[in-house]
Structure 1
């Protein structure tokens, strides 16, 4: 991979990792060994872009683990929840919460989603320029609060919006730094990260404390965590908090971003917005969408899938192999870090014609059946794929239906700037004009 003779591609990886990895695939192929940084302090990883390689790295028996530095840093800041834990602890917690995320269980959440989106619909009723990302992530956070915790999470919106970008940047900076200062040193970055972590932990403690004070049980996520035991021993307060935090953060950030990107795309492509609106009117009339309506809204689903192709919520997925491997004829030594990238694979010209173009027709049943099954993997893959994918699709579809039914959308910015960290999000406000429909 190109770069300066002394530092390699470290500057372009930090400035724009999405473009850097796209360029690496274009210039060097589907397996690229990346070495960046000054001599003696270099970081190295293998980036793999072919769908076969992505599937192999993420599959159950490939020998790849979340042992590398970015995952270690994430555990230090965000705790050892379902996304970050491994081995027996991960399996135990996954089995514990799995019943909440089956398609049958998720279908029961439709009424709660519709109730929450109604508040956003009413708040935009006068027509205005709104920040889509701010409003939609707040909306999804409220849905997550009611569905998973039986709680109003209005007081969580501010600390999450303020602290998550700080935590994300800190994790990435330390996860890919050749030298890391001890966390106990009072550097500005350490102090900012410690404050963000403390505020996020305090937010989770308030959620848990309200539930305990109310004396309510229940079959939602928090009820299961508080009632759970391992061999008769209840989960520790730290274990409960780690799970609450990871579901608050991952559950709202990804779906909020997906909705934001989808509405921004529709605003820039009004012909597709009209097709979604016509489908919604034909199938639903004036009634709210229900979970059983989703199969009857194929074009709406195609739009969401194409949005997730262009803007996958998690643009990179990293693992480490302890045993070594061979991928695409390239030897991967033991102890190597390997990156897969939905962002790059979703633009691979072998599988996507005109990959930068927004074209929902890529996701007709016939097109999907003819394409490599792992060319699209916005929810990851293998046993560690997103447990909430059915909930995310239900939320995104119901919310999109409610919003396009009531509004037209027009962009006020020439282009959408991106921030590629732990997740993919807009780099700033997404100012969009919402116009009430007659």
Structure 2
């Protein structure tokens, strides 16, 4: 037998051995998980109706069906016991009043990408430390300083809409709004120019930002529902076996963004230590400055400890003010992802609902005419656009950026007749909270007046949580509102968006949402655009 034939046999044996190992492991994990499930006695013991569920449903769809069929609070078992509730009093206990017992999210991201170490997924002390370090970057003062960048991007967005109107072509909403949101975060957070707004092809940064998560076919998605059903199992596949397929993050995007961020961090560290801060006082620079200061303080402390034996002379380094290079990259990646998903998705859906409701669109347009006096709206003018904000909030009500969020129970807690046992998870179905007819009559109707002052005063504040509630509320919420309102002002006073027989969807149709990683229309929305005669 020749060497080539021998190598083929060895390779075949190795492949077969791997397959046997993988399938044996799968069988053992599934058996162990199911045994663990059977040890849970059921939610009835804790004052909650217990429902047995399958695995071939997207989580958002499962939560919708559970509440529709079984009421506002039910218990299920995934790999751990899960309480599903849209009861606002119970949610206030979990998300606000008893937050310290429910600090952590249950849905940690199983990935080799540093996205999984972003503040959204961090737990306990690490979450608190990183959250405190990031907060100053989203202060009111910082938002005012970046307004000019937001307005420049919104101007380019408006020109893209005008070009479509002039050429009588359809605007591809998510493609274009994604370019807008990514351009802002690239410039304001990292000092990177990503200017492809209105272009057919994305620049490299925008392409990477849009594809941090893999695009899955329906077949792949439903297969992964089984794999992701068990946390220990998916960790085994990704971290132990190093399988790429179950990892939700796109390797090419991660490699590209990691490379440019590492290079930028290194350059900024050198400049910081030379005493010449980077020209952009941006999000990345704030974290780099903290990193350098903590490393320098640690170096001073180490030198002091070597030169003296007196404990009282040691210089303590606050662990609250430390951050590593990987952590800086992780927070950068999660900021890029959050900025793209929140602003781009909400903006496209808001424009779609305005096209679907031309009377509401005209009311927004006339409010802009009455309040905005110059080309660039000021912060004070944006704050006065009350009806525009109602339109944004109604969009967020119908289409929250995340259809659900989760919390882990550290210790058992009893609220009224319901007990949440230690080690269980609470699933908070935001979409179902927002479409509860108890709080929002005719919830499928787009009605911005739900958010006027009179109606808001009558409603429980917990009934609206597109960015979460409590201490873990989205850190970039105000930036999202700034981007959304500025874009809508710039676009709507130049053009109007419409539905007709050639748009997607057509005038007589409606969109169907697809819930995988994030809510998406099954077919990308394309609108008709018309120039306004009385432009500002």
State the TM-score bracket (shorter-chain normalisation).
0.7 to 0.9
Residues 389 and 67 of structure 1: CA distance in aligned 2, closer, same or farther (over 3 Å): closer
1:189 aligns with 2:251: no
Task: Classify the secondary structure of the residue corresponding to 1:160.
Answer: helix
Indicate the residue corresponding to 1:203 in structure 2: 257
Rounded Cα–Cα distance in structure 2 between residues aligned with 1:419 and 1:77: 26
Quote the residue 1:161 is aligned against: 210
How far residue 386 of structure 1 moved from its aligned partner, in angstroms, is 0.6
Bigger mean CA offset, 48-57 vs 370-379: 48-57
Q: Which residue of 2 aligns with 1:9?
A: 53
How many Å apart are 1:332 and its aligned residue?
2.1
Residue 434 (1) aligns with residue 525 (2): no
1:31 touches 1:49 (CA, 8 Å); kept in 2? Answer: yes
Partner of 2:237, secondary structure, is: coil
Q: Is the contact between residue 402 and residue 466 of structure 2 (CA under 8 Å) also seen in structure 1? A: yes
Which residue number in structure 2 is paired with residue 146 of structure 1?
187
Say whether 1:238 aligns with 2:275: no
**Which residue does 1:66 correspond to in 2?**
104
Indicate the SS of the match to 1:124.
Answer: helix
Kindly indicate whether the alpha-carbon contact (under 8 Å) linking 1:137 and 1:256 is maintained by their aligned counterparts in 2: yes
Aligned residue number for residue 422 of structure 2: 334
Assess, with a 3 A threshold, how the Cα gap between structure 1 residues 393 and 67 changes in structure 2: closer, same or farther: closer
Rounded Cα–Cα distance in structure 2 between residues aligned with 1:157 and 1:133: 12
Map 1:274-289 to 2 at 5 A. Answer: 274-285=362-373, 287-289=375-377
- Using the TM superposition, name which of 394-403 and 164-173 deviates more: 164-173
Aligned to 1:147, what secondary structure does the other structure show? helix
Deviations 1:380-414 (A, max 9, x none): 01111111111111111001111111111123212
Residues 26, 147 of structure 1: alpha-carbon distance in 2 compared, 3 angstrom cutoff:
same
Partner of 1:133: 174
- Pick closer, same or farther for the CA change 1:372–1:86 going to 2, 3 Å: same
Aligned to 1:50: 87
SS at match of 1:73: coil
Residues 151-172 of structure 1: per-residue CA shift (max 9 Å, x gap) = 1134221123234244996997
Structure 1 counterpart of 2:290, from 228, 231, 256: 228
2:343·2:484 contact (CA, 8 Å) conserved in 1? yes
Partner residue in 1 for 2:150: 113
Contact 1:73–1:171 (CA<8 Å) still a contact in 2?
A: no
Task: State how far apart, in whole Å, the 2-side matches of 1:75 and 1:318 are.
Answer: 22
Residue 365 (structure 1) aligns with: 453
Separation in structure 2 between the aligned mates of residue 28 and residue 420 of structure 1, nearest angstrom: 21
Shift, 1:138, TM fit: 1.4
Structure-2 residue corresponding to 1:419: 514
TM-score (norm 1): 0.88
Cα RMSD after superposing both structures: 2.8
Alpha carbons of structure 1 residues 173 and 279: separation in structure 2 relative to 1, 3 Å:
farther
8 Å Cα contact 1:204/1:244 also seen in 2: no
How many residue pairs get matched?
A: 423
Distance in 2 separating the partners of 1:173 and 1:78? 23
Deviates more, 1:389-398 or 1:25-34: 25-34
* Equivalent residues of 1:313, 1:425 under 8 A apart: no
> Do the aligned partners of 2:105 and 2:406 also contact (CA within 8 Å) in 1?
no
Structure 2 distance, partners of 1:291, 1:56, is 34
SS in 2 for 1:396: helix
Ranked by relative contact order (alpha carbons within 8 Å, sequence separation 6 or more), the top structure is 1
- Work out which of the residue numbers 345, 348, 353 in structure 1 matches 2:436: 348
- The structure 2 residue matched to 1:23, chosen from 46, 51, 65, is 65
| 3-state secondary structure, aligned to 1:137 | helix
1:387 matched residue in structure 2: 475
User: For 1:417 and 1:205, how far apart are their aligned partners in 2?
Assistant: 38
CA separation in 2, counterparts of 1:186 and 1:323?
Answer: 33
- State the shift of 1:97 in Å: 2.1
Radius of gyration: which is bigger?
A: 2
Partner SS, residue 367 of structure 1: helix
